[in-house]
Chains A and B, each alone.
Chain A
Amino acid sequence: MQKEALSKGFIYLLLILGSILMLLPFVWMISTSLKLPNEVMIMPPKWIPSDIQWSNYIEAWFSAPFAIYSVNSVIVLISSTIGELITTILAAYAFSRINFYGRELIFSVLLGTMMVPGEVLLIPNFVTLSNLGWIDHYQALIVPWLASIFSIFLLRQFFFSIPKELSFAAKIDGCSDFRFLWSVMVPLAKPALITIAILKAIGSWNAFLWPLIVTSSEEMRTLPVGLISFSTDAGTRYELLMAASSMIILPMIILFIVLQKYIIEGVARAGIKG
């Protein structure tokens, strides 16, 4: 009994330490976003600003066209998430349920591409897109992200856990492959699909380097790219940068809190780390 309490206490201690470690940057971000410019860099650091500056948020919002950036971010997020879900569902079904020659080999090759660091692909992808004339268009922000091997892998594992007899039964009931996929497999895979969608949404919302490279005009930029407008030759306005960052991550935090049950379930059921 005592031993159990002790080990429980130890686990909680670890979890508390871990969450403090994870939360510190957020706390620091919010604290900085409310400071006066002269308090941002002082030593020793001040956790609580002496004079809370809510006006930083207003100033930050109006110092760049964040309304346009938001619309762009939302468009990119929704279209690339839906697109990725569709390609993932179709590919995972093919790789788990349809027997075709070379299936395992092709899948291994696809998995192998996960080893290639994203930075390596920046230049070839950029060249391809500029040949297509897509630079500084929505296509450039969306199309390269319409498929994810990791998502396919995650969903494929989930599809494997659905018994084969179910598809036999559906076949006898007169249900086509395509219909079976959408009316049986997809509803069953809901937790995995929500996980994939959330991971995708977060990734898309936070993407910085790629949108920076493929967009040049103000009208095409997304929120994270907009943040660079606080760094100028004259220096960086950290309090405004942090205020803008706090506003930008808010939707993702809300999304995560609302759907965290599914994220954990989806990743745990697929038996792999996200």
Chain B
Amino acid sequence: MKIQLKDITMRFDHTTAVDHLNVTIEEGKLVSLLGPSGCGKSTTLYMLAGLYRPSEGELYFGERLVNKIEPENREIGMVFQNYALYPHLTVLKNIMFPLKMAKVPKKEAEARAKEMAALVQIDHLLDRKPSQLSGGQQQRVAIARALVKKPKLLLLDEPLSNLDARLRLEMREEIRRIQQEVGITTIFVTHDQEEAMSISDHVLLMKDGRMQQYSAPQDMYDYPKNKFVAQFLGNPPINIFPAKLSDDLQTIVLQDTRETLQLEAPISDPAAMNGDYELGIRPEDFYIETDSVKAGLKVETIRVERIGRDNLLNAKLGQINLRAIISPDVKINKGDMITLGIRPGRARLFDSSSGHNLLH
């Protein structure tokens, strides 16, 4: 089912939780709602579920306007962060519950519940109570219960945040597998960027109730629309340096050290010349430049940490600390002055006041 949000706004008393959200979600896709806590992502999900009613805007499921449709008539399934299983019912009864409410004959309901249990691989636990299951198993029951009515939209509210790290990885893949097997349009709320990046077809990044960017995960990482998006994605986070643009609209001058950097092409807008900018470079886009003739940033080494495959270099450019991921075979000691090159096309330039990315 294709989902459309048109100017969706949600106000609680005096705060605006979601501010004029315009998004179209294509059928069969898995979309993550990503953002820091309080950004409105869960509120958006609750509006899609029909548990909250939007203050403004229109919500379309397919061609149908659903603003005033009750949750049970929206053809949706939902999984909650705490799973919200009925504690007094067995696994089978939990999965059958939505069918019982829909007055499906008992025999058919049982058959469908069992089929769903097999899909999420809990068919050996049907007689247990939820309290006798592990977190991952409870999660599977919750997914089965959400899918048993064959909904057209599956909503997941931070479904993995109560699981430990390893189980989280496993369930993440499971959710993707089940979603693709059923082919259901799915919306997944998370505050974990890695989770969103790995599982989704598209990511919708929000902040303070506003959409920041809506695109495929890799595009969002490579071409962030603004500084917030660039900073929210990536670990270790992107390095930011205050900068100016010189008269040719192609040379960036770092404010602190007066070092310069050439862009591949000049900025098209001539008015850009007088603004304040911020240069953003991801840690993995640095490399150590050994050729002293070539351009690069001169930095002073503070510390080198070995983290798994790579070395993480902590260094100082003037007064600003930066982090770079470098190859482990280069020997660097504390206090060494080195030159860091930037991979071509990997620098981002943000407008200081608006945060917009000027290069993409």
Contacts and interface: CB of A to CB of B under 8 A. Distances in A.
Interface of A: 163, 165-166, 168-169, 171-175, 179, 184, 187-188
A175 B102 CA distance: 9
Q: Top 6 nearest A-B pairs by Cβ distance? A: A174-B72, A165-B84, A174-B101, A173-B98, A169-B84, A165-B80
Nearest to A167: B84
Interface in B16-70: 49-51, 70
B175 interface: no
Contacts of B82: 163, 165
Interface in B74-119: 76-78, 80-82, 84, 86-88, 97-98, 101-102
Given A174-B72, A174-B98, A174-B102, A169 B80 contact: yes
Contact of B84 (A166, A174, A175, A187): A166
Contacts of B76: 172
B136 interface: no
Given A174-B72, A184-B86, A169 B78 contact: yes
30 contacts: A165-B80, A165-B82, A166-B84, A168-B49, A168-B51, A168-B78, A168-B80, A168-B84, A169-B78, A171-B51, A171-B70, A171-B71, A171-B72, A172-B49, A172-B71, A172-B72, A172-B78, A172-B98, A173-B72, A173-B98, A173-B101, A173-B145, A174-B98, A174-B102, A175-B72, A175-B101, A179-B101, A187-B88, A188-B87, A188-B88
Contacts of A168: 49, 51, 78, 80, 84
Nearest to A184: B86
Contacts of A169: 78, 80, 84, 145
Contacts of A173: 72, 97-98, 101, 145, 149
Contacts of B88: 184, 187-188
A165 B138 CA distance: 15
Contacts of B80: 165, 168-169
Interface-centre pick from B70, B76, B80, B102 (highest chain A CB count, 10 A):
B80
A173 B86 CA distance: 12
Interface residues of B, number: 22
B98 A166 contact: no
A179 B82 CA distance: 22
Given A171-B51, A173-B98, 14 more contacts: A165-B80, A165-B81, A165-B84, A166-B84, A168-B49, A168-B84, A171-B70, A172-B71, A172-B76, A173-B101, A174-B72, A174-B98, A174-B102, A188-B88
A97 to B, nearest CB: 13
Nearest to B98: A173
A179 B100 CA distance: 12
A179 B51 CA distance: 18
A91 B98 CA distance: 27
Nearest to A171: B71
A166 B85 CA distance: 7
B316 to A, nearest CB: 48
A272 B49 CA distance: 37
Contact of A166 (B50, B71, B86, B145): B86
Nearest to A187: B88
Contacts of B70: 171
A196 B87 CA distance: 22
B103 to A, nearest CB: 9
A184 B89 CA distance: 9
Contacts of A165: 80-82, 84
Nearest to B70: A171
Contacts of A188: 87-88
A131 B82 CA distance: 54
A163 B83 CA distance: 10
Contacts of B51: 168, 171-172
B148 to A, nearest CB: 9
Nearest to B146: A172
A160 B81 CA distance: 18
A26 to B, nearest CB: 37
Contacts of A187: 88
Contacts of A174: 72, 98, 101-102
B102 A172 contact: no
A184 to B, nearest CB: 6
A165 B157 CA distance: 11
A249 to B, nearest CB: 34
A187 B149 CA distance: 24
A247 B37 CA distance: 64
Contacts of B84: 163, 165-166, 168-169
A2 B88 CA distance: 44
